[in-house]
Amino acid sequence: MARSNARLVRLAAFVAALLLCGFILSKGSTSDYVPVINNDTKSETTVVGGGKAAAAVVADSQKSPSSDSSSSKADKAAAYKSPAAAADGGLKASVGEDGYKRYYYTDKVDESQRISATFVTLARNRDLNSLIGSIRHIEDRFNNKFHYDWVFLNDEEFTDEFKAVTSSLVSGTTKYGKIDKSQWGFPEWIDQDKAAAVRKDMHDRRIIYGDSIPYRHMCRYESGFFYRHPLMMDYEYYWRVEPDVKIYCDIDYDIFRFMKDNKKSYGWTISLPEYIETIPTLWKTTKEFIKANPQYLPENNMLDFVSDDGGESYNLCHFWSNFEIGSLEFWRGEAYSAYFEYLDKAGGFFYERWGDAPVHSIAAALFLPRDELHFFGDVGYYHVPFHNCPVDPQTRLTNKCVCNTQEDFTWKDYSCTNKFHAINNLRRPHNWKSFSG
């Protein structure tokens, strides 16, 4: 009886954490976008990181507010004096105990050694103060060694202040793009009255973001459009970064090259159950798509991660998409393109409240071979209210992790990470059971 009560207490605590997460996120980067788009203006700005580049943004804006505020080539050359431009290479290959090859930073990284990859952030101008901490974490823990690009996307024009501050923090090239109005709004096939009635009903039932229109636009955009933005078309891989996140550990190997060398298409840090009230027909719609398109499922897919009964129902496990490192070619590929199109026409982004996290997770589990999905257990990550803090002592010491293992969510009963390791026969930290429960 005592054990049963303990489990009920833990469940109550988990539910409370999810509600807290929803409340705080509702104040953050993806909850109340107010689209303000000028159809006659399409802004795509490129700035090279560094003080002079940041100054160039302001200088250009003073000359002409409506002009492209890209730095000149001379400014770029002056600003970009990074180790990555050195002629001598600075990466040392190593194969770890897990069998994966990693290229570690040693001194100076030759620009030619970097692969085609970028960070990407969907943000509003008012997110700046919440975002600078995230950028600093990424730069200090990883990117100051490798100098990868950073793409910022917004449904309105970025301010000069936003460009100046972010470009001064990012060691690589910064790019600023505006989202096309056709990708941030209601599609023509959506019944507005029906969608409004759903929002009212979800509001009355106090479903998180239930009455939010902007949140639905964000989920649809992250599900089906961010990888199609013109600024993203130059890249093979991306790392999604949101405001108010933390990276707890040093990442001394090229994480993008790791993905490419080891044939990984989707990387994640936190996994948990989705809120069923937001996606009541998502799995039914997915099954309809699969029945009509069985050719998209590889033989060694990971259906057993998202379903416990052979596909009859969805167990709600999903990867938290506020941290994603992935292949852009996967999202642009035939299988996912057809899947998103089917979901979009079904209307669930507006008639329910389908999120990009379960959509991405189901697609990765079904359309990728299982060995192309990777759990990053050595990075250390936080997005309110959940922590991924490596519990293995050697990992924390080697990677100089700064986090409290007692706050780690990874191995808790309500995390789906244990399931991922079990079905894929992956080794867990020797002491993981001490952090379960």
Q: Which residues are catalytic?
A: 324
What is the distance between the alpha carbons of residues 127 and 132, in angstroms, rounded to a whole number? 9
Look up residue 308 and give its DSSP letter. S
Tell me how far apart the alpha carbons of residues 371 and 197 are, in angstroms, rounded to a whole number.
42
Residues 6+ apart with CB under 8 A from 59: none
Strand runs (DSSP E) across 355-402, as ranges? Answer: 373-375, 381-383, 386-388
Joined tokens for residue 313: 């129902």
The CA distance from 350 to 382, in Å, is: 29
Kindly report the length of the chain: 437
CA pair distance 17, 417, nearest whole angstrom: 17
Are residues 160 and 125 in contact, defined by beta-carbon separation less than 8 angstroms? Answer: no
Residue 157, helix vs strand vs coil: coil
Q: Give kind and range of the element (H or E) at residue 175.
A: strand 173-178
| Two structure tokens written together for 134 | 């995230």
Q: Which residues contact 83 (CB under 8 A, 6 or more apart)?
A: 90, 107, 108, 109, 145, 147
* Token output for 25: 């996120």
- Structure token pair of residue 243: 């405001």
Helix, strand counts (H, E) of the chain: 17, 15
Is the CB of residue 405 less than 8 Å from the CB of residue 297? no
Give 110's Cβ-side CA count (13 Å radius). Answer: 9
Q: What is the CA radius of gyration of the chain?
A: 22
The three state secondary structure string of 297-359 is CCCCCCHHHHCCCCCCCCCCEEECCCCEEEEHHHHHCHHHHHHHHHHHHHCHHHHCCCCHHHH
